[in-house]
Amino acid sequence: MGGLLAARVCSDHFERVVIIEPESWLLTEDAQRKDSWNQDSKRARVMQYKSFQTTQHFVYKIFQQVFPEKFVQEANARNIILAEGDWNSYYWGIPSKDIRPHFGGVIPTVIWAGRRGLETLLRRLVLDTTSYPNIEQVVGTVTGVKAHKYDPGLLQGVSYRDDNGEVHDLDAALVVDSTGPTQGGVKWLQRSGFVTDLKKRTYNPRMRYSTFEFAPSRELREKLPIPGTYDGGVGGIVVNWPDPTLDNRWIAIARMDGHRLHVCCGGWAEAELPSNVDGLVDFARSLKGLQPLPDWLFETLDMLHHCEDTLTTSVVQVPACFWSQYQLCDNVPNNFVALGDAVCRINPLYGQGIAKSFVGGITLNSLLDNARTQDRLPSTLSRDFFKMQAARITGMWESPKTNDYAFATTDPEEHETLETGSFMRKYMKEIFRLCTEDGSIHALLIRNAHLMDAAPTDLLHPKIVLRVLGRWAIRSLSGRSA
């Protein structure tokens, strides 16, 4: 998806934008259909294409700003829900406090759609030839890059093989790698003598999750005992986060596009996953917390027996997370950038993958905007891009990793142990506790999670730090663990 957004960004700055797409079906109507849940084909390179997904208000705002005329129209045509970003969060069984009073009564909007629906929407918007006639797609696989004839610090372009096996050379003023975790750009560049000193950070959370997709009838949807009613409520129905000292499993339920219902469950340490509705009910009832989850959750899951014939499942075995350190390389071609999973793959559990790839797109747009009056790319484009992108995604790497280190089965990053970040884990656990007691703290956490107008350091405000320390002191004096 980062590549599609990058193509849209580049369409404002270049005369011609070419997307080289290895999956030929993505050039057909099937890839842009309104009922994406009925697609005949499936993405071969996206493991979570049919899986549970969440995005932030930040992503909604990008869609709004980049596609001001057709975003809402196309989303509505696809039964994609644009509604408050409320997850009805529970922390180890305890409900969080309502944040609406801290947002003027209405929580900022997010897009409630699975990866399949959201990607299909984005592809439809980007490849609208009426709006963006300078964007085109060709079927092919990039096989390498060519060094510039006269400037060794630039690329001349790329070579690609089409679906008939014929090789083509394509000159390019800018090359954007959005090949995902295959990281095609690393291979292309190193074969041409670039980024030979590229280092990669990696750790493995060793977790997996399963998405159960249901298509309940209108009659059944009206009977589900969820808060706010099914069709009249927000997208998020519930998410329960575990206390790592009690459990290694979690569950989330949300409405998605096409009146689909997604139930997602998973966990660390190769958690055992259910395979049917009976298993889902048992899984939810077996979750360990400080208090039981609400009865309406189990009643809702049990009622899904009535639409079990519509059930499809998607299991994701989360691979190792990595971050290629382009920002530390000395010999990256100045007209090459990489974004999304082509640079950094994070644990998808935390729902930041789309935002991370979009950060690359807006970073590129900022740099190109600043050079709009110039007749060539800035001489430090690549270096500036990777440094800016790294600064913006550092939190997306560090925060999930710190949380994953709470589980003994996680393989830590080189030169780190599972004790790395232990103080911040303890601190954030207290913040989560506060979220179940104080709506203002919960609202601040949500502002951070949605990449809005709050910085991560806001959670370290002296008043909040003193409050956390005070709670620890009281707990210590009473003989209770922190």
The residue ranges of every structural domain in the chain are: 2-73+117-203+321-404, 88-107+204-317, 422-477
Over residues 176-190, the pLDDT tens digits come to: 999 999 999 999 999
pLDDT tens series, the chain, 482 aa: 999 999 999 999 999 999 999 999 999 999 999 999 999 998 888 888 999 999 999 999 999 999 999 999 999 999 999 999 999 999 999 999 999 999 999 999 999 999 999 999 999 999 999 999 999 999 999 999 999 989 999 999 999 999 999 999 999 999 999 999 999 999 999 999 999 999 999 999 999 999 999 999 999 999 999 987 777 767 899 999 999 999 999 999 999 999 999 999 999 997 889 999 999 999 999 999 999 999 999 999 999 999 999 999 999 999 999 999 999 998 999 999 999 999 999 999 999 999 999 999 999 999 999 988 888 899 999 999 999 999 999 999 999 999 999 999 999 999 999 999 999 999 999 999 999 999 999 999 999 988 887 777 899 999 999 999 999 999 888 877 66
Amino acid in position 105:
G
Confidence at residue 279, expressed as pLDDT on a 0 to 100 scale: 97
**Nearby residues of 41 by Cβ (< 8 Å), 6 or more positions away:** 23, 25, 30, 31
Confidence at residue 481, expressed as pLDDT on a 0 to 100 scale: 64
> 249: phi > 0 → left, psi -120 to 50 → alpha, else beta; which?
beta
128-164 b/e (C-beta count within 10 Å ≥ 16 → b): beeebeebebebbebeebbbbeeeeebbbbbbbbeee
Confidence at residue 453, expressed as pLDDT on a 0 to 100 scale: 77
What CATH number labels 2-73+117-203+321-404? 3.50.50.60
Question: Hey, which bits of 70-108 come out as E strands?
Answer: 81-84, 89-91, 94-95
DSSP secondary structure letter of residue 233: S
Helices H / strands E in the chain, number of each: 13, 19
- Separation between Cα atoms, residue 448 and residue 108, nearest integer Å: 13
Confidence at residue 397, expressed as pLDDT on a 0 to 100 scale: 97
Sign for the CA dihedral angle at 36, 38, 43, 48 comes to positive
Confidence at residue 451, expressed as pLDDT on a 0 to 100 scale: 85
Backbone angles phi, psi at 283, to 5 degrees: -60, -50
The H or E element containing residue 427 is: helix 422-435
- Separation between Cα atoms, residue 242 and residue 92, nearest integer Å: 5
